Amino acid sequence: MATERVKKEEKYPVARRYQVADVQVSREAQAVKPEVIVRLVKKAKHPVLITGGQLLKDEKLVEYAVKFHEKGIPIIATGGSSKPLIEKGVKPQSAVFTLHQITQYMLDPDWKGFDDKGAYDVVLYLGFLPYYLSRMLSALKHFSKITTISLDEFYHPHARFSFTNLTANKEMHYRMLEEVINGL
């Protein structure tokens, strides 16, 4: 059942890096459970969810993004993910800029965000090619103080926080997303 919580006794998979050769000397992301993410987002002053092109291939991810939006989390849509989201009534803050451009803007403390409310402090990511997202997270890790949280199925070492590696258990991934949304 999609709304079911991940049970305490259920074993979380090991946080296996999306790419075995992506080895760093500095900190790696903390693999966190949904409730930790809920707390981080609730404490955030200016959170945002950025959606990627994989929403065009996985309708479930679209559904979850819509639910985040319904919980009041603004969305920046990239990679064409705006199209299915708009069809479901979501109005993203931006639809045309790439994650690459948005990351460049986020690295500038003078940027006021698409909503002109100042810098985003907690950024959630959903639905990206892992190697594409990874480099953006690396840029933000080294050159900003933004808290980055990956909600994707691959564990992202360059995020500040990430879901663990959920590639072998898609249902668990969906349940964890549901759990975050329900907690907000």
Partner 1 sequence: MAFELREGVFVLDDVRNVSIRIGKVIEEEEEWEEAGPTPMPGIMELRKWDHKLLERYEPFYAPVQDFCNLCTMGPCDLSANKRGACGIDLKTAKARLVTIACCIGAAAHTAHARHLLDHLIEEFGEDTPIDLGPDVNVEAPNIRTIVGVKPKTLGDLRVALEWAEREIVKVLHATHIGNEESLVDYESKAMHVSMCDHVGMEVADIAQIVAYNLPKAEPDTPLVDTGFGVVDRSKPVIVVVGHNVMYARPIADYLEEHGLIDQFEIAGLCCTSHDMTRYNAKAKIFGPISYQLRVIRAGLPDIIVSDEQCIRADLLEACKAMGIPLIATSDAAVRGLPDVNEWDVDKIADALATGKLAGVFLTDPVKIGEVAVRVARAVFEKKKKGELFFESEEEFKNEIAKCTQCMNCVFTCPHNLRIDQGMAHAQKTGDVSKLAKLEEQCIACMKCEQVCPKNIRIINVIMRSNLNNLYAKTGKTRVGRGPVQDTEIRKVGQPIVFGQIPGVIAAVGCVNFPDEMGDLRIILEEFLKRRYIVVTSGCHAMDLGMIKDEEGQTLYEKYPGNFDAGGLVNMGSCVANSHIAGACIKIANIFAMRPLRGNYAEIADYILNRVGAVGFSWGPYSHKAASIATGFNRLGVPVVVGPHGMKYRRAYIGKPWNPEKWWVYDIKTRQKMNIEPAPDALLLAVETKEEAIVQLARLCLRPNDTSMGRQIKLTHYLELSQKYMGTLPDDWPIYVRSEADLPLKMKEELLHILESEHGWKIDWSKKKILEGPIRPYDAGFNPTLVEEVYEKYTKGK
Cβ proximity to partner 1: between 39 and 170 the closer is 170
Instruction: With beta carbons less than 8 A apart as the criterion, state whether 136 and 162 touch.
Output: no
Among 4, 19, 35, 42, binds partner 1 (CB under 8 A): 19
Is residue 117 a contact point for partner 1 (CB under 8 A)? no
In the chain, count H helices and then E strands: 6, 6
Apex 92 CA angle, 86 and 98, nearest 5: 105
Beta carbons within 10 angstroms of residue 58's beta carbon: 15
> How many residues of this chain interact with partner 1, rule: CB under 8 A?
57
Q: Which is nearer to partner 1, 1 or 25 (CB)?
A: 25
Strand partners, 48: 123
Whole-angstrom Cα Rg for the chain: 15
Using rule CB under 8 A, residue 118 touches partner 1: no
If one asks whether residue 114 binds partner 1 (CB under 8 A), the answer comes out as: yes
Where do contacts with partner 1 occur on this chain (CB under 8 A)?
16-27, 52-53, 56, 77-80, 82-87, 94-101, 103-105, 107-108, 110-112, 114, 128-132, 135-136, 138-139, 141-143, 154, 167-168
